[in-house]
Amino acid sequence: MVALPEAAPRRPRAGWIARLLANPKFQSLASRLPLARGIARRDGAALFDLVQGFVQSQVLMALVELGVLRRLYDHGAQGAEALGRACGVPPDRMAHLAQAGAALGLLRRRRDGRFALARRGAALLGVPGLEAMIRHHRAFYADMADPVALLRGEGETELARFWPYVFGARGGIAPEVAERYSDLMAQSQALVAEDVLRMVHLKGVRCLMDVGGGSGAFLAAVARAHPGLSLRLFDLPEVMPEAARRLAAAGLAGRVETVAGSFREGVLPEGADAISLIRVLYDHSDDTVTDLLARCHAALPPKGRLIVAEPMSGGARPERAGDVYFSFYTMAMGTGRVRSAARIAGMCRAAGFVDVTIPRAPRPYITSALTCVRVE
């Protein structure tokens, strides 16, 4: 028998800088060299921040679920014993939670050992819908418990069960599910509407139709900003009762026309010279989005305007909000996906739209936007 030569050890294909940085001996040396020490320290801290990121999120979840932030807002500074008694948590464990909250900048530890609400914690309470979204993350975190299984598409996810609408559900949607959906969207829509109206002007628009507009939170913001604009809400029949209730409570019952239907079936209603898709496209597959954009094009008159707003991928320049959080969130939903502004612009052009404009987003972690126009 002829002995086969041993296979040569596989050489890493990474560039020489990556190979150098991945060498433990170099890392040890860099930690001692004056010029490299600062870089090594910053890289190390950033890596550890990634490692402990899930724990930070769970600390935030506990602070919100136990009502610690609200309690400190309502009653002022308190010690771990008083907080623990109010929240049903042993004082020594509440001390751990409060200390962690202070380390994250959400609480502030006073000299007397009591804890008060810090600026960042107060800001969290001031963001509409953020507490509800943090509580909702219980489902998302369950899906992220095994990220490899999620990437391989193994098993049904919690978010897929939470969002039945992305699968084009027909009837049989429990009222409490529809209400839960509408409530979460309405609470989180306030900041989205604020940023969209900063980025997109509605000058010259007579009638705006919000397709997939849920309970009408975006249109309510538009109504306040543009009192003379005619408004129309188009969404699934199951969403309409909650939309009617919320619009009436906002004094907009006679201002916003509600039209029940599915953008997956038939044609969209005509008559609007602008259509908005606010956080709609990233819920759906490319095929559904392509079909929806074609329906929007058909429903608009010449020079009619399409407005798309949602979190987007950074594309060639990856960024954290779109390419980390929203990318995996939509993956867990089962049919959605984040797309770059360039990708959405290309899909709009393929549907027949022109004059694509992509304004600079003031807060990309809330939403980005683009507009385009139909021409004959």
306: number of Cβ within 10 Å: 23
pLDDT of residue 8: 54
pLDDT digits (tens, 9 = 90+) for 272-305: 999 999 999 999 999 999 999 999 999 999 999 9
In the predicted model, what is the mean pLDDT of residues 360-375?
A: 94
pLDDT of residue 161: 81
User: What percent of the chain clears pLDDT 70, i.e. is strictly above it?
Assistant: 83
User: Same CATH topology for 53-126 and 131-165+176-374?
Assistant: no
In the predicted model, what is the mean pLDDT of residues 42-62?
A: 89
> Rounded to whole angstroms, how far apart are CA atoms 104 and 106?
6
pLDDT of residue 36: 63
pLDDT digits (tens, 9 = 90+) for 340-356: 999 999 999 999 999 99
Which band of pLDDT confidence, cut at 50, 70 and 90, is reported for residue 167? very low
| pLDDT at position 375 over 50 | yes
b/e map 342-368, b = 16+ CB within 10 Å: ebbbebbeebbbeebebbebeebebbb
pLDDT digits (tens, 9 = 90+) for 182-227: 666 667 788 899 999 999 999 999 999 999 998 898 999 999 999 9
In the predicted model, what is the mean pLDDT of residues 56-71?
A: 96
Which band of pLDDT confidence, cut at 50, 70 and 90, is reported for residue 166? very low
pLDDT of residue 170: 46
* pLDDT higher at 347 or 30: 347
* pLDDT higher at 251 or 161: 251
In the predicted model, what is the mean pLDDT of residues 359-366?
A: 93
User: What percent of the chain clears pLDDT 90, i.e. is strictly above it?
Assistant: 64
In the predicted model, what is the mean pLDDT of residues 96-114?
A: 97
> Rounded to whole angstroms, how far apart are CA atoms 288 and 290?
5
Specify the CATH number for 131-165+176-374; select among 3.40.50.300, 3.40.50.150, 3.90.1170.10, 3.40.50.720.
3.40.50.150
CATH topology for the 53-126 domain: Arc Repressor Mutant, subunit A (1.10.10)
pLDDT of residue 279: 94
> Rounded to whole angstroms, how far apart are CA atoms 334 and 285?
9
pLDDT of residue 133: 86
pLDDT digits (tens, 9 = 90+) for 245-277: 889 998 998 899 999 999 998 899 999 999 999
Dihedral sign from CA coordinates of 192, 194, 195, 198: positive
> Rounded to whole angstroms, how far apart are CA atoms 332 and 188?
19
Domain ranges of the chain: 53-126, 131-165+176-374
Instruction: Return the minimum-mean-pLDDT range out of 126-135, 137-146, 317-326.
Output: 126-135
pLDDT digits (tens, 9 = 90+) for 5-20: 555 556 666 675 656 5
